[in-house]
Structure 1
Amino acid sequence: MRLPTRPICLSLLAGLLAACDTGGQSDSTAMIGDMPVEETVPRGPNNGRLLVDGGFVLELAIHETGVPPEFRAWVTEAGRPVAPGRVDLQVTLTRLGNRVDEHDFDPQGEFLRGDAVVYEPHSFVVTVDAGYAGRRLHWEYESFEGRTRISAEMAEAIGLETMVAGPVVIDETVTLYGAIVPATDLVREVSARFDGVIESVPVALGERVGAGQTLATVESNESLQSYLISAPIAGVVTERNANAGEQTGGRRLFTIVDTSTVWADLAVFPGDRDRVRVGANVTVAPATGGAGIDGTISYIDVLAAANQAVTARAVLDNSSGMLAPGTYVGAEVQVAAHAVPLAVRRSGLQSFRDFTVVYAKFGDEYEVRMLELGRQAGDWAEVLGGLDPGTVYVTGNSYVVKADVEKSGASHDH
C-alpha cells in the first residue's frame, strides 16, 4: 500500500515504523516500552566522554565554541593530570558509506587538540587509540545522530522516493499574473454576403461547429435566390444574432472562436521589465488546477497601461480545453538558466536542529546531511556543501524519515 504524500497522523506513523530497526539509537540511549531514554554516559569536567582503562582516564570532547568543531582531549592517571606531550593519540571516525576520517592530536596547553574538523553530522563509530608510557590503549563506541534504519519493504509501504544528487539546470523564474484571452487570429465575425431574409438557423449559441458547416440559409433581397452562410473556421459559436424571418440588415450574425490555441496576456511591472524577453519559456497554471501548460512569450507591448504594467503575451496550446478565455491565471516565466554541479529536489528538504538537511540513503539506513544551499528556484536547490555528488537521498515523503529519526531520540554527542 502506498501512502498519500500529505502528512499522516503521528499515531499511524508510529505504527508503520514500529517494525523498523531504529538505527538512530547509539550506545547513549535505551528503550523503555516504545520510548527512547538517555543512558548515563560518564562525563568529565569538560563535558567530554570518559574512556577508562584502570587508573588511566581519557576525556574526549568535540569542542565548537568559537571554532569549527574539533576534538580535544584531557588525560589523567590515578586522578592526576598527565602532560599532553606524553600521550600519543589518534581518533578514527567511520561514517555511513565507509567514509573514514583520521584525527591526529598535538599538545596545546593542558590538552590535546585534534588536527581536523569534525564535520556534520556527528554520527559515526569512534575508534580511539592511545599510547602512553609504553602501553597501547584502545576504545570503540558508537555516536549516532540523525540516523535511522528502515527496511526496503517498509520504505515501499510508506512511499519513500529517492534519487541521486547530481548536476541540474536551475531555471530562474518570475511570477506574473494576467488573463486568458482568445487568439484574435482564431476569431471570425460572420455576416451575410447579400442582405436578405433569414430562412433558417440550424446552429445554437455555444455549439461547436466545423469549418464549412452551415450556419444559416438566407434568401437574397435582390435575386430572391437562397444561399448558405458557412462557418469559415472550426470553433464555438460565441455570438448568434440571427433568427428565421429576420432581415440580415448588414449586421454581424455570428461570432466563432477557436479556443484550441489561446493567449495568456500577462502584466509585467517595471521591476521585471528588463528580465522578461520575447521567446522566454512560460508555464501557466490553469484556474481549475492540475499540471501547468507550457508556452513562450511571443510579444511584449511597448505601451504601459494605467497601472504602469506592459502586457507580455504567451501563446498556449489549449487542445485540452483547460484554459477558458476570461479566466485569471498565474504564470512562471523563465528569465535565466543556471547550470549547477550539484542540486537536490526541494521536496526532500527538512529541518534538523539549526540546519536544512536531506536524508541520505545507504542500503536500509538513512542519515541527515547538513546542506549549505545556494540559489533555489522551481523544484531545485543548489548545494554548495554538505553532500557528495552521487549520493542517493530521499525526495518524496522525507518527513516520514524525519519523524522516525526524532522518535529514535539519538542526541548530538559532544
Structure 2
Amino acid sequence: MKRLIQPGFAMALSLIVTGTVLSAPAYAVENQEAAAYEEVEKGPNNGRMLRQDGFAIELAIFEDGVPPEFRVWATLNGQPLSPDEVKVRVVLDRLGDVQDKIGFYRQEDYQRGDMAIYEPHSFAVALNAEYQGKTYRWAYDNFEGRVDIKDDIAAANGIETVKAGPGTIHQTVTAYGELINPVESTRDIVARFAGVVKKVHVNLGNQVEKGDSLVTIESNQGLNAYTIKAPIDGVVSGRYVSAGEQTDGQTLLRLINNRELVAEIYVFPQDRSKVRMGSPVVLEVDGVEQPAEGVISYIGAEIIEGQGFPVRIAIDNAAGVFSPGAFVHGRITVARYDVPLSVKRDGIQAFRDFQVVYAKVGETYEVRMLEIGAQAGEWAEVLGGLEPGTEYVTSNSYVIKADIDKSGASHDH
C-alpha cells in the first residue's frame, strides 16, 4: 500500500536542476561539491514555471482536501491557453527503477493529473507538452530525503540493513523486583540426636553435592557416632559450630542451592488481568549483560502495598552468573501476533510529519514514509508506505537522518 501525504494545502515542487548536487556530506560520494539550489520561478498558482520560446507551463502539486496530485496551467506569451489545446505527459523516475507515468485531463481552467503523487516526493521529472504540433520538453530532479553513502563508509559508521518482511509483535508489560532463593533451595542442617560435634567436614563457601559428609556427631545416648549428609547440592552459606561443641538443637550449617533461583517481580495492579501462568518473561539483571528467560510459575493473590502483585519466575543459574538479591527488570509477554510486514523500531526516525525508515538501493538511501500499526518490543507493524522485501536501515539510522537534515534535501511541505 502506497502512503499518500495527509491533505494540506497547495504546494509547488521545489525542483532542482539536473546535475546539481543536493548535499555534500562528509562521508558521501567523493568529489561532491557544496549543495547548490536553483532559484525557482513560481507562478500565480504557486507552481514551478517552465518556459521555452514564449510557451510556458506552470506545474504544481496540489493537496488541499485531496491526495497530492499534479496540476498544470499553460500560457503563450503570458496569455492563458485552453486546457484542450495542450497535451501534457509527466514521467517520474523513482529510486529503484520505479517509474510513474502521469497523464492529464481537463478540469475547469487547468489540467489535472490522473494519479496521486505518493510519498516520498523524490524523483527525476520529465515533462513533455505538445501545442500546435510542437513538442516542448523539460527534465529536472526533485530529490528529498535522499543521500549517497559508499558501502565502506556506511560500514565504518555502523550502518546496518535488513529486508522488511513478516514479524511477530510481542505485547509486554513491565515489572521490577529481585532475585531470591526459593524455600526449597535452602536447608538448615540440625542434629537428629543431641551430642558432641566430633568433626565439621566443610567450611564456609564450600560447594557440596547431595550425599557429601557435612558433620560427624557423637550421640549423648550410647556415644554412637553418626554423620550428617548433604540433603541437596549447594554452597555452605552458614557455619555455626566447631568440633567439641554440643549441638543443643541449634542450626549447625546452612546450605543454599544457587543453581536454581527465582525472580520475584511485582506487577502493577492495572496489568494484573493481562498476566497468566506460563507467560514468558525476559529478565534483565543488574550487573549481568545476558538477559535471563523463563515463564511465570506463581502469581500472588494479594497486592503487596507499595509494590503490586508478586509473580515468580524460575531461573536456571547453572553457570553461576546470577546472585540472590540482584535487582531485575522484567518484560512479561501478555500477547503475541504475527503481522505480514514489520520493521525494527530502532530504524524508525522522524522526517517532516512522518515516521520513516531509510530504504537502501545500491549506495543510495532514501526515506520511506510509514503507516505504522501495532508497536511492541523490538518490532513495529507496517500498514503502508513500504514494499515487502525492501532493504532498510536498522542500526545507526540517525547518521543518515543527520546528514539529510543538514543538507535540507526536502521540498517545502
Contact 2:88 2:130 in 1 (8 A): yes
1:58 CA drift (Å):
0.4
1:388 and 2:396 aligned: no
Amino acid in structure 1 at the alignment position of 2:50: L
Amino acid in structure 2 at the alignment position of 1:411: S
The separation in 1 between residues aligned to 2:125 and 2:30, in whole angstroms, is: 19
Contact 2:159 2:396 in 1 (8 A): yes
Distance 1:332 1:215, change over 3 A: same
Contact 2:194 2:220 in 1 (8 A): yes
Amino acid in structure 2 at the alignment position of 1:314: I
Contact 1:122 1:413 in 2 (8 A): no
1:254 and 2:262 aligned: no
1:321 CA drift (Å):
2.9
The answer to which of 255-264 and 311-320 deviates more is: 311-320
Tell me the SS of whatever aligns to 2:403: helix
Tell me the SS of whatever aligns to 1:89: strand
The separation in 2 between residues aligned to 1:343 and 1:188, in whole angstroms, is: 50
Aligned to 1:137: 136
1:244 CA drift (Å):
2.2
Aligned to 1:18: 26
The answer to which of 352-361 and 321-330 deviates more is: 321-330
Aligned to 1:5: none
Contact 1:147 1:367 in 2 (8 A): yes
Aligned to 1:299: 298
Amino acid in structure 2 at the alignment position of 1:18: A
1:40-82 CA distances to partner (integer Å, 9 max, x unpaired)? Answer: 1232222222212211000111122333211111111011111
What does 1:147-226 align with in structure 2 at a 5 Å threshold?
147-226=146-225
1:226 CA drift (Å):
2.9
Contact 2:266 2:307 in 1 (8 A): no
The separation in 1 between residues aligned to 2:201 and 2:252, in whole angstroms, is: 13
The separation in 2 between residues aligned to 1:113 and 1:127, in whole angstroms, is: 17
1:86 CA drift (Å):
1.6
What does 1:59-74 align with in structure 2 at a 5 Å threshold?
59-74=58-73
The separation in 2 between residues aligned to 1:332 and 1:304, in whole angstroms, is: 19
What does 1:231-242 align with in structure 2 at a 5 Å threshold?
231-242=230-241
Contact 1:175 1:333 in 2 (8 A): yes
Percent of paired sites with the same residue: 48
Distance 1:19 1:310, change over 3 A: closer
Contact 1:122 1:145 in 2 (8 A): yes
Amino acid in structure 2 at the alignment position of 1:238: S
Aligned to 1:28: none
Aligned to 1:49: 48
1:271 CA drift (Å):
1.4
Contact 1:286 1:322 in 2 (8 A): no
Tell me the SS of whatever aligns to 1:265: strand
Tell me the SS of whatever aligns to 1:252: coil
The separation in 2 between residues aligned to 1:17 and 1:52, in whole angstroms, is: 33
5+ residue gaps, structure 1: 1-15, 26-30
1:315 CA drift (Å):
1.2
Over the aligned positions, Cα root-mean-square deviation in angstroms equals 2.1
Contact 1:373 1:382 in 2 (8 A): yes
1:308 CA drift (Å):
8.1
The separation in 2 between residues aligned to 1:403 and 1:302, in whole angstroms, is: 51
1:184-216 CA distances to partner (integer Å, 9 max, x unpaired)? Answer: 222222111221111232433333223233322
Tell me the SS of whatever aligns to 2:137: strand
Distance 1:375 1:22, change over 3 A: farther
Distance 1:351 1:234, change over 3 A: same
Aligned to 1:13: none
Distance 1:61 1:22, change over 3 A: farther
TM, length-normalised to structure 2:
0.89
